[in-house]
Structure formats: structure tokens, C-alpha cells
């Protein structure tokens, strides 16, 4: 078995969300100096740092609010890649592999895990330690690649999907956009909140239904 | 291969039309019915466990697993096809209830002219060049003949809406362009969301005729004629691509399964993929299938009903060598012809106000038919028939809603500047959408792919399908009218999308794929007769969109259910009494 890898993340970002290992065991994370060590399922620590830094450039913390690092987007991506989706368990992967026109979508053989491994390597092992402007330059150089498109999509998903998937820690993402969470009923609101914001403290799916919800990535096949 | 005890009826597919057939047969006769469903077993009420946007609306957890089986696509018979490796322009369902579990529940009737489209086009546009390769057909059954079955399906599901044509009387506030209804909708329309309301008032002030989209999500608590009671919709927004947590949305598991599952004459076997229809001397003898453990079975049956949705209805017949495959070069052969999708487009717009687009229900919204069907006729634009423009409030989760930014705001697609703009405009945008009827063409059809196979090694279905100038004219019109309405709403118009230069499988359009085993008045040009019975194999029946000779602008499921009722009546009242060809 491979050595268990950890990533250190700010404890604020964790927002009290439990972290589960690939085997599904709840890991009791110890807070030291406002940081915790999160077990990684797919990335090694160096890769996770690179991806984390790249996501932080895509969705930065700035004067408009917190960003990808604070929302634990990296944990979301790590879980997705470790799960069945990362291994293309739901994509048609029989050959022959041929290239086609854009209207036929991605026809490549590489699965998301492989695309990430290669993409992260291309960003360079020093990526996380570069100055921000230099990081942006490297990202601009790969802007048109499938890897970057995945990274951008996953950053948004990690910001705004339910925290059961590991991102959107402390419901930071939903607070940013004023999304109340899966509240189950707007029967009394839908014809009243016309043109004005619906301000409710966001709640996660688990908080709404009152029990643990297992994401697809955690489901035993 | 294990040979099982014969049954009276075997139904391939436990989706909407398959379970409706099973329910009618077991309720009205003592015949034994076995439903074979390839996907997982689902039960009524299982959706309260909790579903989230990522798993269900993005990763499409309820849909067919493409790793096991997909389809291939090419634009013309000259090209070679490639597999659709990830979803896609449509999303086939799987498991008990089929796509009927995670549909949007928009429940339209087709207009009377759709049922006699060939005649209608010939009368209105004799010699039109646009129609050169159009293979539209009359169904052999008229709107008037189907009307009571439409009403039956509406009552079964509890469709909410407002009639615009009651026995020939136009009624303001309903769809005045629809065919005559014998009765008002079973339930009144839904509450109105903000965007839908803005669209409605603007469309009305522009002289159009907005009406509430008919929807099989209940506007209030409802008990249907089968005795099933369901709660009213909560506008939770987790509707299309989800099962309804409270059962307000019409779904086979809450409407049909509870009526059949305890019957001694009924059995549903989940995880069982039907591979072939067995037949000899013009009669079906049963089917073969493989269960989830890989065991192979032969299930003999007196009657075989194919209810496995468009693609597999056609594919199973091709794999079973039952019928003459269509050849586009000679236009001979009936199996696989008249493949249609639906013509869709949209116009995004921005209002500097909070729209709360996360509130909504699958079918919630307003629409206009002022540019539908013949209303859109515009010879200068090369346009014979149009479609519906709609403002839907289906409920948008944050992943779908995030990142829409009006033109001119920023060029960035990531980084601080982009983030600021996306946050500023979040929940201030929506879209006017368009759905138009797709003409069938000589060149668009289905056959078996020569190269790619499913997990069993059986050939995949191959779609040869592309748009023509007529579909482009349809969406050009939609974008023009939609943009005008959006501007009059006071909105800034953003990106719009028409069908484009070539058919694309990369973005969702609608799960409305029709044709391949089409219905018609003659065996030379159709596979089933107007009762849904196979012309040449009288104990083989087919339900669902594969029997539609062409698509309509409205969503198809209500028509499938009405046709299924009609088929059930023909089978039960006539065929079971005197087995043989009915037409
Ligand atoms: C996201 C989405 C939104 C939609 N919204 C609307 C809407 O708003 N309005 C509307 O009118 N329609 C809508 N539809 C379409 C609607 O769901 C279908 O028209 C309807 O479910 C078709 O009924 P059916 O019985 O033909 O097929 P289904 O309900 O899909 O059932 C077919 C069943 O057959 C099974 N099957 C297939 N092959 C085999 C095999 N070889 N062996 C055994 N079983 C097999 C499948 O697993 C499936 O369960 C929507 C569909 C989707 C996916
Ligand atoms: S919007 Fe209504 S019908 Fe749809 S899932 Fe929610 S409660 Fe059910």
C-alpha cells in the first residue's frame, strides 16, 4: 500500500466538516496553530500543493471574498479523482480511439486522473512557490488545454457544490453567492420574492435532511 | 441459457410507457406480465434520502451508464461514426421508472396538424424546395381520436395548466393555438416565479398569447382516478434530473408501480438487459436477457412489448433481425427511418435584479405559441414551421447558475476580475428557450454501428443525423424573437445559441429522440400500425417515441402515454379476444 499523504489546510476553511479517507473511515483531524492535516486520496502532497495554488489563481481570495483555498476546493478535486468518476467508470472507453470534430466532444483515451497527472507535471514542481504573476503566466500558457478546462470547472464545482463532496467548506461558496442550500420548499416564497434577494443562512444537504449523505465518489461499487 | 416458464406478456423496459402497459394489463385482465428492466430497482419514496446538484445534475447519477452502452453518431452516411463517450445532447434513463423518474414533467399535447403533417405540408406548401427530402408522415390516427386518451394521461398524472381551447372556444390566458380540449386541465396552473411573470406580462403587452406551461408537477394535492394521492409541489428546484422527494412530480414509481407491485400476475426483474427478441414465422416467441450476475435466460411469452425507449426499441429489432433495415440510398426499408430530435435554442439575458432562479419546478414557466407550427411561416427566411418560446423556472442550482456574465463586462474567464464580475451578476440572469418540431429527412436514420459494441459485445446503435437550413431558420427566428422579448423586458441580451452549423453531441438539447419504428397507415412506410402493433408480427407491440413519425415542438411524453393507453385498449379489448393483426 502506498504511503498515506496529507495536505495541510487552514482550519478556518475546514468549517467543522469531517474528512473521510478513501476507505471511508472518518479521520479525526488535529488542529495545530490553526491548521489541520487532511489525508489525501489521490494526489501526493506536492501535487496537491500545485493544484491548490492553481485553483487559488482561478478563484482567488481577494477583496470580493474568500476563494478556492478557503473553500477546500483541493479536497473536492482529490475526492473526485480518487472516485469512480476519476477513473472514467461512467464514460464509454472502448476503442478504436479516433479523433473527431469538436461536435463529438472529448474522444481521448486519457481519464481525468491521467489528464491531471500530466497537467500538474506540466505546471512544474515549483509552481506553488512561484510569485503570483509567474503562476498566472504558466496558467495562461495552458489555458486552451483540456487539463485547464477541467481545473477551472472543478474549481467552480469545489466552490459551489454541497460540502458532502469535500469543497465549499463552511458553506463559504454559498455564502458568497447567497445560495440558501437545498431547502426543499419555496412554496411560500416563489411568488413573493420577485426581484429581491432571498436571504437565508445557507444549509447543507446533510443539515437539511438531518443525516449523512454519501456522495457518488464514496459509494462502494 | 436457461429457459424460463412462459408468461402471457413480457415487457422490455420498466420506464414510463412500459409500466403503464403493465398497469393496464394487470388491472383489466388476469394475464401474467413480466417487466424486464436493465437498470437498478427503484421504489416509491426513495428520493427522500437526499440528492445534490453535483451527483445528479452534473454527473447524472440516474442516467444510463455510458461505460456499458452508448450510441455512435455521424453527420452523414459518407462519414464514419464515433461513439458518444460522455453525455451528451440527450440523457437516456435507466432503472425502474426510466427517464420518467428524472424528467422535467412538461406535459404538452401535440397540435392536430402534427398528426397529419405530411398532408398538411402538401396542402400548404405544394412543391416547396425545402420539403424535397422531408419524409413527414401522417400517423394514421388523428388528434380528435386521441383526445380522450390525452385527457386520461393528464388525469393520471394530475397535469396543471389552463386550457386555451375548450371544445373550440378560445380561452384567454390559456394556449389559444392548441387543439380543442374536451375538458379543463385536472389542476389549475402553478404559482408564478419572477422571471416567468416578467416574460408573461411582456409577451402579453407585445400582443402575444402567453400561457402557463402544462406541467405534471402538482399545483396542489391531488388524487387521481387510480386512487393515488400525491402532495402539491414545493418549488424546491431539485426537479429535472432528480426524483421528487415528496412525489409531487408524476413518476412511474409513484403513479404506476404502487398499483402493480403486489399483484400476483406482475413481476419486475431489475438488472436484466434484454438482448434479442425471439421470433419465427412472423410471430414473436419471447426474449433473451442477461441478468446482473451475467446469467443468460430465455423468457418465452405470448406477447412481447418493446418499451425500452427510442434507441433500444430500434436497436433490439435490428439486433434480432426483425424487420427490414432502412437504406437511405434507396429509401427502402422501414426499420430505422425518420429519426428526429428536437430543434432547440436559447437566448440568455440579464436583469439587474435578484431572480432567485434556484426556486422553481421542472415544468414551471410561461410560453408562447405565436411562432409555433404554421404561425411561423416565413418564405423569405426559408421557414415553414417554427416552435415554442418559453421562459422556464425549472430551478437552477448554483453550479448551473454561476458564471453568466453579460457581454462587455470582462474578457477574463478566471482570476480576480472574472470572479468579481461573476459574483456581481450571479442570479441576475436567465434564458428564454426554444423548442421546435424537427422534420424527418430521408438522410437522418438509425442502424447498427459496424465497429463499436456494448459491454456484451453487441453492436451499438448508430445515429446518422445533421441539421439542415430549415432548422437553422427555426432557431434564427427564435433568437430574433427571444431577444426582442428580452429587450422589452428591460434586459440586456447575452449569448444566444441556435442549432449551429452541425449537430453537436456536446451539450444538452432535450431527451426527445423519435422515430425508427414509426407508426403509419401502411406497412410499406411504417413499422407499427396506429394501434402500436407491429405490422408484420402481430404479437409484438411497441410504445414510446420510436413510434413517432416526426417530432413536435411540445415535449413528447404526454403523447407517448396517450398512445400507450390507446395501445392498451386495442390489445386488451380486441387483440386478446381475437389475436391477429388489428389494422
Ligand atoms: C433530463 C430529462 C428531462 C426530460 N423532461 C421531459 C419533459 O419535461 N417533458 C417530456 O415530455 N419529456 C421529458 N423527458 C423525456 C421523458 O423522460 C421520456 O420521454 C419518457 O420517459 C419516455 O418513456 P419511455 O417509456 O419510452 O422510456 P423510459 O421512461 O426511459 O423507460 C425505458 C426503460 O427501458 C429500459 N431499457 C432500455 N433498454 C433495455 C433493455 N435492452 N433491456 C431492459 N430494459 C431496457 C431503460 O433502462 C428504461 O428504464 C425528459 C428526459 C430527461 C432525461
Ligand atoms: S419542484 Fe416540485 S415536483 Fe419538482 S422535485 Fe421539487 S417538489 Fe417535486
- Name the average pLDDT for chain B: 97
Return the closest-CA partner of residue A117 out of A84, A144, A93, A150: A150
Tell me the HSE value of B343 on the side-chain side, using a 13 A CA sphere. Answer: 33
Residue B377: all three cell numbers together:
411561416
pLDDT at B48 (0 to 100): 80
- Name the average pLDDT for chain A: 89
Q: Which entry of B102, B341, B470, B512 is annotated as an active-site residue? A: B512
B452 at A interface, C-beta within 8 A = yes
pLDDT at A219 (0 to 100): 83
Q: Which residues of B touch A84 (CB under 8 A)?
A: none
Under 8 Å CB pairs connecting chains A and B tally to 185
- Which CA distances in Å does B303 have to B8, B156, B286? 6, 25, 7
Nearest to A91 among B86, B413, B420 (CB): B86
Which B positions 260-319 lie with beta carbon below 8 A of chain A?
none
Q: Do A103 and B452 touch (CB under 8 A)?
A: no
A188 at B interface, C-beta within 8 A = no
User: Which ligand is the nearest neighbour of the Cα of B92?
Assistant: 1
pLDDT at A9 (0 to 100): 76
pLDDT at position B320 over 60? yes
Instruction: Indicate whether residue B234 lines ligand 2 (CB < 6 A).
Output: yes
The mean pLDDT of B251-274, rounded to a whole number, is 98
pLDDT at A34 (0 to 100): 66
- Reduced to 3 states (helix: H, G, I; strand: E, B; else coil), residue A162 is coil
Which B positions 191-250 lie with beta carbon below 8 A of chain A?
191-194, 197, 232-238, 245
The 10s digit of each residue's pLDDT in B160-205 is 999 999 999 999 999 999 999 999 999 999 999 999 999 999 999 9
What pLDDT band is residue B583 in, cutting at 50, 70 and 90?
A: confident
The 10s digit of each residue's pLDDT in B536-559 is 999 999 999 999 999 999 999 999
Q: Which atom of ligand 2 is nearest to the CA of B249?
A: 3
The 10s digit of each residue's pLDDT in B49-105 is 789 999 999 999 999 999 999 999 999 999 999 999 999 999 999 999 999 999 999
pLDDT at A38 (0 to 100): 87
Nearest to A103 among B359, B403, B502 (CB): B502
The 10s digit of each residue's pLDDT in A70-102 is 999 999 999 999 999 999 999 999 999 999 999
pLDDT at position B508 over 90? yes
Q: Which residues of A touch B67 (CB under 8 A)?
A: 88-93
The mean pLDDT of B147-151, rounded to a whole number, is 98
Query: Residue A175 CA to chain centroid, in angstroms?
Result: 17
Burial class (CB in 10 A: 0-12, 13-18, 19+), A109: exposed
What pLDDT band is residue A221 in, cutting at 50, 70 and 90?
A: low
pLDDT at A20 (0 to 100): 47
Residue A196: all three cell numbers together:
429581491
Share of chain B above pLDDT 70, in %: 100
pLDDT at position A11 over 80? no
pLDDT at A23 (0 to 100): 44
- Reduced to 3 states (helix: H, G, I; strand: E, B; else coil), residue B83 is strand
Q: How far apart are CA B189 and CA B69, in angstroms?
A: 39
- Compute the distance from residue B272 Cα to the ligand 2 centre, in Å: 30
Q: Which residues of B touch A67 (CB under 8 A)?
A: 419
Q: Do B67 and A89 touch (CB under 8 A)?
A: yes
Q: How far apart are CA A191 and CA A187, in angstroms?
A: 8
Return the closest-CA partner of residue B534 out of B552, B516, B550, B551: B516
pLDDT at position A2 over 80? no
Please state the CATH superfamily assignment of the domain spanning residues B1-46+92-158+250-339+510-583 in this structure. Answer: FAD/NAD(P)-binding domain (3.50.50.60)
Give the least confident one: A35-49, A94-108, B354-368, B453-467: A35-49
The mean pLDDT of B129-156, rounded to a whole number, is 98
Q: Which residues of A touch B52 (CB under 8 A)?
A: 161-162, 164-165, 182, 205, 213, 215
Q: Would you list the DSSP string of A40-52?
A: PSSS-HHHHHHHH
pLDDT at position A16 over 50? no
pLDDT at A25 (0 to 100): 47
Residue B290: all three cell numbers together:
442477461
Total length of chain A: 221
pLDDT at A12 (0 to 100): 56
Nearest to A156 among B82, B399, B506 (CB): B399
pLDDT at B92 (0 to 100): 96
Pick from B244, B254, B394 the residue to mutate for probing ligand 2's pocket: most ligand atoms within 8 Å of its CB: B244
- Compute the distance from residue B91 Cα to the ligand 1 centre, in Å: 9
The 10s digit of each residue's pLDDT in A131-183 is 999 999 999 999 999 999 999 999 999 999 999 999 999 999 999 999 999 99
pLDDT at position A15 over 80? no
Q: Do B399 and A161 touch (CB under 8 A)?
A: yes
- Compute the distance from residue B41 Cα to the ligand 2 centre, in Å: 22
What residue ranges do the domains of chain B occupy?
1-46+92-158+250-339+510-583
Pocket of ligand 1 (CB under 6 A): B 12-18, 36-39, 91, 93-95, 98-100, 102-106, 240-241, 273-274, 307-309, 312, 362-363, 511, 544-545, 555-557, 560
pLDDT at A29 (0 to 100): 47
Q: How far apart are CA B485 and CA B391, in angstroms?
A: 11
Query: Residue A25 CA to chain centroid, in angstroms?
Result: 20
B125 is known as an active-site residue: no
Q: How far apart are CA B465 and CA B479, in angstroms?
A: 23
Q: Are strands B337-340 and B514-516 parallel, antiparallel or unpaired?
A: antiparallel
Q: How far apart are CA B357 and CA B432, in angstroms?
A: 13
Helix (H) or strand (E) holding B400: helix B398-401
Amino acid at each position: 500500500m502506498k504511503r498515506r499523504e496529507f495536505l495541510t489546510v487552514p482550519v478556518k476553511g475546514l468549517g467543522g466538516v469531517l474528512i473521510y479517507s478513501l476507505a471511508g473511515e472518518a479521520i479525526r483531524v488535529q488542529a495545530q496553530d490553526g491548521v489541520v492535516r487532511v489525508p489525501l486520496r489521490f494526489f501526493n502532497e506536492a501535487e496537491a500543493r500545485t493544484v491548490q495554488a492553481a485553483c487559488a489563481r482561478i478563484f482567488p481570495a481577494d477583496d470580493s471574498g474568500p476563494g478556492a483555498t478557503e473553500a477546500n476546493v483541493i479536497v473536492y478535486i482529490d475526492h473526485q479523482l480518487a472516485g469512480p468518476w476519476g477513473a472514467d467508470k461512467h464514460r464509454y472507453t472502448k476503442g478504436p480511439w479516433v479523433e473527431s470534430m469538436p461536435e463529438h466532444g472529448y474522444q481521448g483515451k486519457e481519464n481525468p486522473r491521467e489528464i491531471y497527472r500530466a497537467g500538474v507535471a506540466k505546471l512544474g514542481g515549483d509552481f506553488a512557490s512561484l510569485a503570483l504573476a509567474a503562476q498566472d503566466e504558466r496558467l495562461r500558457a495552458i489555458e486552451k488545454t483540456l487539463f485547464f478546462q477541467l481545473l477551472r470547472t472543478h474549481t467552480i464545482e469545489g466552490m459551489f457544490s454541497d460540502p458532502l463532496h469535500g469543497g465549499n467548506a463552511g458553506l463559504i461558496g454559498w455564502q458568497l453567492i447567497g445560495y440558501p442550500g437545498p431547502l426543499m420548499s419555496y412554496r411560500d416564497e416563489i411568488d413573493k420574492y420577485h426581484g429581491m434577494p432571498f436571504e437565508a443562512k445557507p444549509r447543507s444537504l446533510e443539515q437539511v435532511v438531518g443525516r449523512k449523505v454519501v456522495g457518488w465518489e464514496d459509494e462502494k461499487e | 441459457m436457461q429457459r424460463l416458464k412462459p408468461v402471457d406478456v413480457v415487457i422490455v423496459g420498466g420506464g414510463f410507457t412500459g409500466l403503464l402497459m403493465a398497469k393496464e394489463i394487470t388491472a383489466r385482465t388476469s394475464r401474467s406480465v413480466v417487466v424486464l428492466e436493465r437498470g437498478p430497482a427503484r421504489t416509491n419514496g426513495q428520493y427522500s434520502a437526499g440528492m445534490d446538484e453535483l451527483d445528479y445534475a452534473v454527473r447524472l447519477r440516474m442516467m444510463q451508464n455510458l461505460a456499458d452502452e452508448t450510441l455512435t453518431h455521424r453527420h452523414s452516411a459518407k462519414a464514419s461514426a464515433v461513439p458518444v463517450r460522455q453525455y451528451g445532447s440527450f440523457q437516456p434513463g435507466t432503472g425502474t421508472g426510466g427517464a420518467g423518474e428524472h424528467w422535467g414533467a412538461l406535459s404538452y399535447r401535440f397540435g392536430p396538424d402534427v398528426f397529419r403533417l405530411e398532408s398538411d405540408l402538401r396542402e400548404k406548401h405544394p412543391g416547396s424546395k425545402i420539403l424535397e427530402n422531408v419524409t413527414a408522415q401522417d400517423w394514421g390516427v388523428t388528434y380528435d381520436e386521441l383526445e380522450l386518451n390525452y385527457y386520461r394521461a393528464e388525469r393520471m398524472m394530475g397535469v396543471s395548466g389552463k386550457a386555451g381551447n375548450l371544445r373550440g372556444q378560445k380561452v384567454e390566458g390559456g394556449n389559444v393555438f392548441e387543439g380543442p380540449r374536451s375538458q379543463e386541465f385536472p389542476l389549475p396552473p402553478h404559482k408564478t416565479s419572477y422571471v416567468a411573470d416578467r416574460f408573461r406580462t411582456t409577451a402579453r403587452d407585445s400582443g402575444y398569447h402567453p400561457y402557463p406551461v402544462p406541467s405534471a408537477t402538482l399545483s396542489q394535492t391531488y388524487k387521481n382516478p387510480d386512487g393515488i394521492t400525491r402532495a402539491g409541489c414545493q418549488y424546491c428546484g431539485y426537479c429535472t434530473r432528480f426524483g421528487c422527494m415528496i412525489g409531487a412530480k408524476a413518476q412511474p414509481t409513484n403513479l404506476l408501480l404502487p398499483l402493480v407491485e403486489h399483484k400476483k400476475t406482475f413481476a419486475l426483474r431489475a438488472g436484466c438487459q434484454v438482448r434479442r427478441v425471439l421470433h419465427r414465422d412472423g410471430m414473436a416467441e419471447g426474449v433473451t436477457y442477461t441478468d446482473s450476475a451475467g446469467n443468460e435466460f430465455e423468457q418465452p411469452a405470448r406477447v412481447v412489448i418493446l418499451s425500452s425507449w427510442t434507441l433500444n426499441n430500434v436497436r433490439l429489432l435490428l439486433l434480432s433481425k426483425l424487420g427490414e433495415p432502412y437504406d437511405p440510398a434507396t429509401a427502402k426499408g422501414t426499420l430505422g427511418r425518420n429519426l428526429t430530435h428536437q430543434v432547440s435554442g436559447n437566448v440568455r439575458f440579464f436583469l439587474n435584479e435578484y431572480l432567485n432562479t434556484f426556486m422553481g419546478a421542472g415544468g414551471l414557466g410561461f410560453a408562447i405559441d405565436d411562432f409555433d407550427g404554421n404561425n411561423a411561416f416565413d418564405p423569405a427566411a426559408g421557414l415553414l414551421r417554427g416552435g415554442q418560446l418559453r421562459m422556464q423556472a425549472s430551478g437552477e442550482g448554483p453550479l448551473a447558475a454561476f458564471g453568466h456574465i453579460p457581454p462587455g463586462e470582462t474578457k477574463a474567464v478566471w482570476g480576480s476580475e472574472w470572479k468579481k464580475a461573476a459574483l456581481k451578476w450571479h442570479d441576475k440572469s436567465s434564458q428564454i428557450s426554444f423548442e421546435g418540431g424537427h422534420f424527418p429527412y430521408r438522410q437522418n436514420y438509425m442502424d447498427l454501428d459496424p465497429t463499436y459494441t456494448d459491454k456484451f459485445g453487441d453492436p451499438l446503435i448508430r445515429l446518422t443525423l445533421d441539421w439542415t437550413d430549415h432548422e437553422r431558420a427555426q432557431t434564427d427566428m427564435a433568437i430574433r424573437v427571444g431577444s426582442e422579448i428580452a429587450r422589452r423586458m428591460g434586459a440586456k441580451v447575452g449569448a444566444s445559441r441556435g442549432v449551429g452549423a452541425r449537430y453537436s453531441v456536446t451539450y444538452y438539447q432535450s431527451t426527445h429522440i423519435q422515430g425508427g419504428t414509426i407508426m403509419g397507415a401502411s406497412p410499406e412506410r411504417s413499422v407499427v400500425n396506429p394501434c402500436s402493433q407491429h405490422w408484420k408480427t402481430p404479437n409484438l407491440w411497441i410504445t414510446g417515441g420510436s413510434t413517432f413519425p416526426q417530432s413536435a415542438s411540445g415535449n413528447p411524453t404526454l403523447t407517448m402515454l396517450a398512445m400507450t393507453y390507446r395501445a392498451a385498449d386495442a390489445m386488451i379489448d380486441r387483440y386478446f379476444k381475437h389475436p391477429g393483426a388489428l389494422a
